[in-house]
Amino acid sequence: MRLDLFNTTAFRLSAGYTLLVMLAVSVTLGSAYLLTESLITDEVDLIIATELQSLEEKFARSGLPGVSDEINLRIDSWGRIGAVYMIADANFERIAGNVTHWPFDGMPSERWPEFEIATIEPGRRAVHPVRAAVRTLPGGDLLLVGTDISQGRRFADKFRFATLWGIGLSTLAAALAGFWFSYKLARRVGEVTRTCQRIMDGESGHRLPLAGANDEFDALAASVNRVLDRLEEQAGTLRATFDSTAHDLRAPLQRLRTRMDALLLRSPPLEPAVHESVESALREVDRLQRTLATLLQIALAESGAPLGASASVDLAELTAELVELFEPVAAELGLALACRTQPAAHVQGNRQLLAQLLTNLIENCLKYVPAGGRIEVTVECLADAVHLEVSDNGPGIAASDRARALQPFVRFGSGGQPEGSGLGLSLVAAITRLHRGRLELASNEPGLRVLIDLPNGS
Amino acid sequence: MHVLLIEDDTEAAPFLVKGLRESGYSVDHAADGRDGLFRATEGAFDLIVTDRMLPHIDGLAIIELLRAKGIGTPVLVLSALGGVDDRVRGLKAGGDDYLTKPFAFAELLARIEALLRRRAGAPHTTRLKVEDLEFDLLARRVTRGGREVELTARELKLLEFLMRRAGQVVTRTMLLEGVWDLHFDPQSNLIDVHISRLRQAIDRGTDHPLIHTVRGSGYVLRSDA
């Protein structure tokens, strides 16, 4: 199983974190920008208001000539930088000031109207934005006081530029950090996943690597490794138990066989009737041995012991070989055994066990399907599995009995069916499970369909 | 032929020794792994038959030690462990054949014979001939008395297996292993049916059949009964 970086919790978390950083930085820098901008404007407005007030007072004291002189004085001498003054009559004709003509269409409606003044500066033409206020003097003349706000504008522009870059860069930094973080995290979790997969695939000696950082991942890896050690130990104990059980059951059978073989080989030969009895007893020993072997194999497979020797097996080829092997026997029983396979249906598994599985399924059909019947074995490649199907038109298994038919040992001793039934299918189920496959019994209407999906592997 | 039997089962061993002697082999018996390894190293045997689970030194360890010393005597492993991996492990350790207990004495004899003959050397031949039965291995063509015999690919393999061991008893399990690479016993009389088909093709219409049934053992292909 491959880890998709974009589909990890770490990635989703860091994407959320990046978004949060972006929002926080935007709010902070954005409000600082808005605040600064309004502070600059407020300051300009205050100056304009103060000047207006003092000029209005001057008008009250010394009339229009006084205000005009005052304005000229302020323009010529110590006036503040960027100050703009104008006195105009009721028809907006200039009376005094440093603006050549009335900048608005009539009387501006806003409280703080803005306009632009084109000036000739050394070498270039420049346009200066001006913020202003207008008062109507007693007598109908108009007084305009303004301030060149190009410096403030430039500052605001720079501030905005810096704000946008700030938001962009910190988002980028957060995204990079998040990506790196989720990459690191996904890689370490991926290592754990891959190692577990390898162990499940049979490399039971494999352990999770420790980064040596003594962090929570190392702690996790160490815990997992302890669990794996325990499992391997248990598998070893299990294996030893199986080995000694197998040995203890087979050794007496061997002694029995050897003695009977010796009887058959001795000279002078046994009487024909006795010879026949010994031979029939030997056949029973063989049957016992086969049952024992099957039981041991089921038990071993059911115990969850990992699949030992595992390789890529072409199930299509194996099926064709076994069908060919069984075909003459089927023909003798009056059964048609056919096989339909797709080439190169590779599964990861043990060839002997898979052959045993197919053998049991085919032999099951041979045992139950009456003469004239038909058995079909098919192998198909699906997207992520190889599908094996063995179907016949024999008596089948009643729907209510199907689950029971797969369980080991349950059919033991139940009458009415040919001997050994149930055990064969139990072994099939065990081998399927061992290969991490899925087994299903269905009706072939009439007959039995055994459907097996094995995960594919090349 | 000199055979060393390493077997700790005190009840089964005497029967095996007796049976092998009666079949014409001279037999040495070792009852544990240490004695077995000592004898195998010191003596000159044509074949070693060893149990797998032995006191002191395990059967597979004996094989590994022998192979490490450069002793290539063929070894037949007897084992009460019949799992699919056990066989593979036995052969990996350097064993030449693996027989799961309980086995028929006839099976043991047939396998011993096969191992000894194999040791005698399988010449790189392109043509097998038994009496008037001829097998051209390159062209995969078989003739009996000059008359061409039609055989399937699997029947050719089966016949080749028998002809390469002409005169030797070949058991059903040996055929399943050697021709079909199956290391378990199906319940059906599979091999008998296949042999009978082969017999039909080879021996039909001749007055001296070449494929013979050996009661209680298996089959043999030889020129005269």
Report ipTM (2 d.p.).
Answer: 0.88
Which member of A256, A261, A352 has the closest CB to residue B84?
A: A352
**Contact partners, residue A29, CB within 8 Å, separation at least 6:** A162, A163, A166, A167
Q: How far apart are the CA of B65 and the nearest CA of chain A, in angstroms? A: 23
Q: Do B104 and A261 touch (CB under 8 A)?
A: yes
Residue of A nearest to B52 (CA): A247
Amino acid at residue number A422: G
As a whole number, mean pLDDT of residues A385-409 equals: 84
In three-state secondary structure terms, B3 is strand
The per-residue pLDDT for A79 is: 58
Given a cut of 50, is residue A305 above it in pLDDT?
A: yes
Residues A116-144 have pLDDT tens digits of 887 766 777 778 888 999 988 888 888 99
Q: Which residue has the higher pLDDT, A234 or A308?
A: A234
Chain B nearest CA to A321, separation (Å): 8
The pLDDT confidence band at residue A307, using thresholds 50, 70 and 90, is: low
> Cα separation of A25 and A19, whole Å?
10
What is the nearest CA distance from A290 to chain B, expressed in angstroms?
Answer: 8
Q: Which CATH code of 3.30.420.40, 3.50.50.60, 1.10.10.10, 3.40.30.10 fits the domain covering B127-221? A: 1.10.10.10
Domain boundaries, chain B: 2-120, 127-221
What residues of chain B score a pLDDT lower than 50?
none
CATH number of A216-302: 1.20.120
Distance from B192 to chain A by nearest Cα, in Å? Answer: 9
- SS3 annotation, chain A: CCCCHHHCHHHHHHHHHHHHHHHHHHHHHHHHHHHHHHHHHHHHHHHHHHHHHHHHHHHHHHHHHHHHHHHHHHHHCCCCCCEEEEEECCCCCEEEECCCCCCCCCCCCCCCCEEEEEEEECCEEEEEEEEEEEEECCCCCEEEEEEECHHHHHHHHHHHHHHHHHHHHHHHHHHHHHHHHHHHHHHHHHHHHHHHHHHHCCCCCCCCCCCCCCCHHHHHHHHHHHHHHHHHHHHHHHHHHHHHHHHHHHHHHHHHHHHHHHHHHCCCCCCHHHHHHHHHHHHHHHHHHHHHHHHHHHHHHHCCCCCCCCEEEEHHHHHHHHHHHHHHHHHHCCCEEEEEECCCCEEEECHHHHHHHHHHHHHHHHHHCCCCCEEEEEEEECCCEEEEEEEECCCCCCHHHHHHHHCCCCCCCCCCCCCCCCHHHHHHHHHHHHCCCEEEEEECCCCEEEEEEEEECC
- Sheet with A94-97: list strands edge to edge: A94-97, A83-88, A142-148, A124-136, A114-121
| Chain A partners within 8 Å of B190 (Cβ) | 325-326, 328-329
Residue A1 is predicted with a pLDDT of 45
Distance between A429 CA and the closest CA of chain B, angstroms: 17
Taking contacts as CB-CB distances below 8 angstroms, the residues of chain A near B100 are 250, 293
Q: Which among A290, A328, A359 has the least Cβ separation from residue B197?
A: A328
Report CB contact under 8 Å: B216, A243. no
Domain residue extents for chain A: 1-87+125-200, 216-302, 311-455
Tell me if the domain spanning B2-120 has CATH number 3.40.50.2300.
Answer: yes
Give chain B positions within 8 Å (CB) of A247. 53, 80-81
pLDDT at A421: 47
Residue with tokens 């996943």: A193
Q: Rounded CA gap, B137 and B150, in Å? A: 14
Residues B145-175 as b/e (b if ≥16 CB within 10 A, e otherwise) read eeeebebeebbbbbbbbbbbbbebbbbbbbb
Residue B208: helix, strand or coil by DSSP?
A: coil
A329 touches chain B (CB under 8 A): yes
Q: Collapse the DSSP code of B114 into the 3-class scheme (helix H, G, I; strand E, B; otherwise coil) and give the result.
A: helix
Whole-angstrom distance, CA of residue A386 vs CA of residue A436: 12
How far is the C-alpha of A409 from the C-alpha of B78, rounded, in Å? 29
Secondary structure (DSSP) of B75-110:
EEEEES--SHHHHHHHHHTT-SEEEESS--HHHHHH
Q: DSSP 3-state assignment of B121?
A: coil
**At a CB cut-off of 8 Å and minimum separation 6, what does A54 contact?**
none
CB contact under 8 A, B194 and A328: yes
pTM tops 0.80: no
Do B83 and A285 lie within an 8 Å CB cutoff? Answer: no
Average pLDDT, chain A: 84
pLDDT digits (tens, 9 = 90+) for B20-77: 998 899 999 999 999 999 999 988 899 999 999 888 898 999 999 999 999 989 999 9
How far does the CA of residue A195 sit from the closest CA of chain B (Å)? 23
Q: Which residue does chain B place closest to A310, by CA atoms?
A: B85
Task: Please say if the pLDDT value at position A410 is more than 80.
Answer: no
Tell me which fold the domain A311-455 belongs to.
Answer: Heat Shock Protein 90 (3.30.565)
* Model confidence band, residue A232 (pLDDT cutoffs 50, 70, 90): confident
CB atoms within 10 A of CB A236: 12
**Helix pair A315-332, A351-368: axis angle to 10 deg:** 30
Q: Write out pLDDT tens, residues A417-455.
A: 455 546 788 889 988 988 889 999 988 888 899 999 998
Cα first-last separation, chain A? 15
Residues in chain B closer than 8 A to A296 (CB atoms): 82-83
Q: HSE (CB half, 13 Å, CA atoms) of B104?
A: 21
Tell me the per-residue pLDDT of A293-303, one tens digit each, with 9 for 90 and over: 888 878 777 76
pLDDT band for position A245 (50/70/90)?
Answer: confident
Backbone angles phi, psi at A336, to 5 degrees: -95, 120
Q: Between B81, B181, B188, which is nearest A329 by CB?
A: B188
**pLDDT of A80:** 65
Q: CATH topology of A216-302 equal to that of A311-455?
A: no
pLDDT at A397: 83
Which residues are CB-contacts of A26 (< 8 A; sequence separation ≥ 6)?
Answer: A167
